[in-house]
């Protein structure tokens, strides 16, 4: 967020979405040797405080950059282009029908659990719905990757740049919506 606009800079990386993981880890370890509080136990209070700030920022940065989705979210954040869906709970239009069915099955399962009805058939239906949405999640991830490649090959044009960012933003919202859906189903199936 606000004063952490430097994750890419901290690792000496351009603001690109493709990152070579081996090199990222090497850099992380190298900087850890430098910043870690273990180095500063006998140092002045100011140095100790500084080490705590730098090493926590390093760890935060590594956590975000090594996760492909968190990385996109962070990039949009520092570019000022991250907008969470205003109607977070609203299904994307093309998923509306399936989500409606899914919610119905979930309600039926909850009722059956409460009244001790037959669960097996309902569970099977939900399991196949879960699989379906897992697959959609995979598709969104692929779309995210291809949009990320577009971003990486971009040559500075303002309008195109904005368009890709908006696309990445929509995909993130869609992803988080589907993920919540899957998590809800999994919770009921346990």
Partner 1 sequence: MGRIVGIDLGTTNSLVAYLDPQTNQPKCIPGPYGSTLCPSVVSLDADGTIVVGEAARRRLLTQPERTIYSVKRLMGRGPADIQDELKLFPFRIDPSSKNVIRVKLGGKLFTPPEISAFILRELKNWAEAHFGETVDRGVITVPAYFNDAQRQATKDAGKIAGLEVLRLVNEPTAAALAYGLHEKQRGKVAVYDLGGGTFDISVLKLISTTEGDIFQVLSTNGDTHLGGDDIDNLLQAFVHELILQHDEIDFSPHGEIAQELRKSLIEVKHQLSESEAATLRFALPNGTVFTHEFTRGALDALIRPVVDRTMRPVKQALADAQLKLADMDEVVLVGGATRTPLIRRTVQEFFDRRPHIDLNPDEVVALGAAVQANILDQGVKNMLLLDVTPLSLGIETYGGAVAKIIPRNSTIPASAQELYTTGVDNQTGIDIHVLQGERELAKDCRSLARFTLRVPPAPAGLPRIEVKFLIDANGILQVGAKDLRTSEQHSIEVQPSYGINDSEIERMLEESIEYAEQDFAERQVIEARTESEAILAATAKALANHQAAGLSPEERARIDASVATLKESAAGSDYKLIRKRIDELNHATEHLAELLMNSAVSTALEGRKLAEV
Residues near partner 1, by CB under 8 A: 1-4, 29-30, 32-33, 36-39, 41-42, 52, 55-57, 59-60, 62-63
114/108 Cα distance (integer angstroms): 10
Closest CB 91 distance from partner 1, rounded Å = 21
Closest CB 39 distance from partner 1, rounded Å = 5
The CA-atom distances, in angstroms, between 72 and each of 75, 88, 104, 129, 186 are 5, 18, 33, 28, 26
Is 61 exposed, middle or buried (CB count within 10 Å of its CB: 0-12, 13-18, 19+)? buried
Is the CB of 117 or the CB of 138 nearer to partner 1? 138
Closest CB 94 distance from partner 1, rounded Å = 28
Closest CB 190 distance from partner 1, rounded Å = 13
DSSP string covering 15-63, please?
A: S-S---HHHHHHHHHHHHHHH-GGGGTTS-HHHHHHHHHHHHHHHHHHH
139 is written with which tokens? 């598709």
Is the CB of 60 or the CB of 188 nearer to partner 1? 60
Is the CB of 37 or the CB of 92 nearer to partner 1? 37
117 is written with which tokens? 């009805």
Is the CB of 56 or the CB of 128 nearer to partner 1? 56
């Amino acid at each position: 967020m606000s004063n952490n606009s430097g994750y890419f800079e901290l690792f000496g990386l351009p603001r690109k979405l493709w990152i070579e993981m081996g090199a990222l880890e090497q850099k992380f370890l190298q900087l850890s040797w430098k910043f870690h509080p273990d180095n500063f136990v006998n140092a002045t209070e100011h140095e100790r405080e500084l080490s705590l700030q730098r090493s926590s920022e390093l760890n935060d940065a590594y956590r975000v950059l090594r996760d492909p989705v968190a990385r996109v979210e962070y990039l949009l954040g520092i570019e000022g282009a991250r907008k969470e869906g205003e109607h977070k709970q609203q299904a994307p239009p093309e998923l509306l029908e399936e989500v409606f069915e899914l919610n119905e099955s979930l309600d039926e399962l909850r009722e059956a659990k409460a009244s001790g009805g037959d669960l097996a058939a309902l569970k099977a239906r939900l399991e196949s719905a879960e699989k379906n949405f897992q697959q959609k999640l995979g598709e969104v991830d692929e779309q995210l990757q291809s949009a990320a490649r577009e971003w990486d090959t971009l040559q500075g044009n303002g309008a195109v740049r904005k368009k890709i960012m908006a696309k990445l933003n929509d995909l993130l919202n869609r992803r988080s919506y589907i993920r919540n859906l899957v998590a809800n189903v999994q919770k009921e199936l346990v």
